[in-house]
């Protein structure tokens, strides 16, 4: 039998792993459960480990693995429960990016269940912003299992500012097109109509913060009318030479 907070944390971690492929930070877990300190998260994780629901991977930061879910929590109810415990939806003053027509080119391959061809919109800076995305007519094949509902596109990452979120230089990120994202999500952000960057989105009062996942990079703060969300990270593809 899990306590309410243990149950909330387990479903939040499970949803985050399914959506991003890596576990949430202690700060994200603290915010999701509305706790005042990270020590409470440590105690909850330890309790879940002792009960055989979670496992920490040795020698790796932010590496949690969900071993099992409570019998009463099916995959569908796990997603619904995690959604109800996550941070409320973040809706800054944003408009849609200009991807609607181009994304119509995302087509399934002959082996429909195995892979999908997504349009590849060049390299996006995970360090300093670069020029707005441009369609070079290229595509990339990604596992269909990475995709859910909605329209998607792919970007190649340039830079190391998101490395502590598990996103490395040269990786290909899979983005679900959209113009809003919840607080703390990793998004493609269009800044001042001319710069595009991959960062974690935070709301700070009436401002929007674009946070790196590398202490060598500063958080950038903007007014809500200067940042437009163009999509949310849902997956990652990495090639090894």
| 154 and 51 inside one domain | no
Looking at the structure, do residues 57 and 114 belong to the same domain, yes or no?
no
Is 97 within a domain?
Answer: no
* Domain shared by 80 and 110, yes or no: no
Task: Quote the tokens at residue 201.
Answer: 């989105």
pLDDT the model gives residue 1:
62
Range of the domain at 120: 102-237
Summarize pLDDT for 85-120 with one digit per residue, the tens.
Answer: 444 444 444 434 444 444 444 444 434 446 778 888
Query: Among 72-76, 197-201, 210-214, which is the least confidently predicted range?
Result: 72-76
Domain stop point among 60, 85, 110 = 85
107, burial (CB in 10 Å: exposed 0-12, middle 13-18, buried 19+): exposed
Whose structure tokens read 């113009």?
179
Confirm whether 140 is domain-assigned: yes
Residue 184 domain flag = yes
Residue 57 lies in a domain: yes
The catalytic residue positions are: 161, 199
- Evaluate whether 155 touches 102 at the Cβ level (below 8 Å): no
The verdict on residue 217 lying in a domain is yes
In a domain, 158, yes or no: yes
Same domain, 128 and 163: yes
Output the pTM of the full model.
Answer: 0.52
Domain boundary (59, 85, 111) is at 85
Cα–Cα distance measured from residue 161 to residue 159, given in angstroms and rounded to the nearest whole number: 6
One domain, residues 33 and 126: no
Domain identity same for 124 and 232: yes
What's the mean pLDDT in 148-161?
A: 85
Q: Give the pLDDT score at 187.
A: 94
Q: Are residues 112 and 36 in the same domain?
A: no
Q: What is the CATH number of the domain that holds 216?
A: 2.10.109.10
Mind listing the pLDDT tens digit for each residue in 35-70? 888 888 888 888 888 778 888 775 555 578 888 887
175, 133 in Cβ contact below 8 A?
no
Instruction: Examine residue 94 and state whether it is found in any structural domain, yes or no.
Output: no
Handedness of CA 144, 23, 151, 122 (dihedral sign): negative
Domain count, the chain: 2
Q: Which of 25, 57, 85 is the last residue of a domain?
A: 85
Claim to verify: residue 116 and residue 78 sit in the same structural domain: no
Question: Do 117 and 68 have their domain in common?
Answer: no
Tokens 């960057």 identify what position?
197
Cα distance between residue 73 and residue 8, in whole Å: 11
Same-domain status, 78 and 33: yes
């Amino acid at each position: 039998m899990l306590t309410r907070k243990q149950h909330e944390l387990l479903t939040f971690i499970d949803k985050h792993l399914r959506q991003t492929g890596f576990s949430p930070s202690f700060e994200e877990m603290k915010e999701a459960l509305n706790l005042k300190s990270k020590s409470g998260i440590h105690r909850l994780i330890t309790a879940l480990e002792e009960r055989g629901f979670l496992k920490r991977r040795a020698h790796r930061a932010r590496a949690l693995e969900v071993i099992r879910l409570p019998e009463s929590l099916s995959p569908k109810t796990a997603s619904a429960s995690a959604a109800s415990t996550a941070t409320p939806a973040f809706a800054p003053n944003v408009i849609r990016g200009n991807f609607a027509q181009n994304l119509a080119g995302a087509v399934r391959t002959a082996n429909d269940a195995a892979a999908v061809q997504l349009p590849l919109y060049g390299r996006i800076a995970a360090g300093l912003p670069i020029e707005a995305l441009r369609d070079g007519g290229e595509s990339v094949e990604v596992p269909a299992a990475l995709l859910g509902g909605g329209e998607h596109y792919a970007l190649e990452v340039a830079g190391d500012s998101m490395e502590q979120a598990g996103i490395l230089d040269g990786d290909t990120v899979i983005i679900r097109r959209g113009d809003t994202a919840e607080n703390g999500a990793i998004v493609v952000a269009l800044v001042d109509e001319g710069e595009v960057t991959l960062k974690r989105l935070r709301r700070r009062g009436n401002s929007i913060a674009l946070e790196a996942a590398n202490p060598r990079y500063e958080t950038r703060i903007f007014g809500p009318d200067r940042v437009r969300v163009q999509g949310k990270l849902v997956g990652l593809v990495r090639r090894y030479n």
